[in-house]
């Protein structure tokens, strides 16, 4: 109910307003030529000055600013790209150095090992040779000893037997006869004694 009255009042007041406006309206001021020349004059003046100032002073500055910013951003991007490439190259270099040094270390290790092995071989050879020499010398000595052994034994046997005979018999015995007997014996039993 209240709502209805509200909208009705609005609706009816439109009529009064329309009448009020109708009474006052006196055509469009736009079509009154009184100030046309003045408006044209001021329009040309203000617009002309604005156009001149904008086109000669302000717009070139703005376009300059935009250009310089654009070029600066491009430059920065370029510099960043370059630095990235540099760092990539450095990284590659670093990797290369690392792999090279690894290889070098490997080769050094191998060389050292080979050298050590060679040294060991050489020393062993020398030692072997020395040992061989010593063995040969010892064998020679043994041979010599062995060769001299029957004579010495014979001599000892002769001397011993002559002294033995002297003590037993009390008379001087001819050494030559004893040695003949010992020689004869040793020739007969030499093999048995020396195991040759």
Partner 1 sequence: MAANPMSQFDVYRIGPEIKVGAFDISFTNASLFMILSTVSILLIFNIGSKKNSILPNKIQLLAELSYTFVSKMISDTAGSKAKPYFAFIFSLFMFVLFCNMFGMIPYTFTVTSHIIVTFVLAAFIFIGVTVIGFIKHGFGYLKLFVPSGVPAVLLPLIVVIEIISYLSRPISLSVRLFANMMAGHTMMKVFGGFVISLGIVGGWLPLSFSVALTGLEILVAFLQAYVFAILTCIYLNDALNLHH
Residues in the site for partner 1, rule: CB under 8 A?
6, 9-10, 13-14, 16-17, 20-21, 24-32, 34-44, 46-47, 49-51, 53-55, 57-59, 61-66, 68-69, 72-73
Distance CA 10, CA 131 (A): 137
For residue 77, the minimal CB distance to partner 1 (Å) is: 13
Nearer to partner 1, 21 or 169 (CB): 21
Nearer to partner 1, 38 or 196 (CB): 38
How many helices (H) and strands (E) would you count in the chain? 4, 0
Nearer to partner 1, 54 or 116 (CB): 54
Nearer to partner 1, 25 or 196 (CB): 25
Nearer to partner 1, 16 or 176 (CB): 16
For residue 24, the minimal CB distance to partner 1 (Å) is: 4
Distance CA 54, CA 62 (A): 10
Distance CA 62, CA 56 (A): 11
For residue 74, the minimal CB distance to partner 1 (Å) is: 12
Distance CA 58, CA 53 (A): 7
Residue 159's Cβ-count burial label (10 Å; 0-12, 13-18, 19+) is middle
- Residue length of the chain: 196
For residue 15, the minimal CB distance to partner 1 (Å) is: 11
For residue 73, the minimal CB distance to partner 1 (Å) is: 8
Distance CA 106, CA 51 (A): 79
């Amino acid at each position: 109910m209240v709502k209805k009255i509200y909208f009705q009042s609005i609706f009816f007041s439109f009529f009064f307003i329309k009448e009020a406006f109708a009474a006052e309206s006196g055509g469009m001021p736009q079509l009154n030529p009184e100030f046309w020349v003045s408006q044209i004059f001021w329009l040309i003046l203000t617009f002309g000055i604005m156009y001149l100032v904008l086109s000669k002073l302000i717009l070139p500055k703005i376009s300059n600013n935009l250009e310089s910013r654009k070029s600066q951003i491009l430059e920065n991007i370029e510099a960043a790209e370059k630095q990235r490439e540099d760092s990539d190259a450095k990284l590659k270099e670093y990797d290369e150095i690392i792999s090279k040094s690894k290889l070098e270390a490997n080769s050094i290790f191998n060389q050292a090992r080979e050298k050590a092995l060679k040294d060991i071989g050489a020393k062993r050879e020398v030692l072997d040779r020395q040992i061989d020499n010593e063995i040969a010398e010892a064998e020679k000595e043994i041979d010599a000893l062995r060769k001299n052994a029957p004579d010495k034994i014979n001599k000892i046997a002769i001397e011993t037997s002559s002294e033995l005979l002297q003590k037993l018999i009390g008379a001087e015995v001819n050494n030559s006869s004893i040695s003949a007997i010992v020689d004869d014996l040793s020739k007969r039993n030499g093999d048995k004694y020396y195991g040759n």
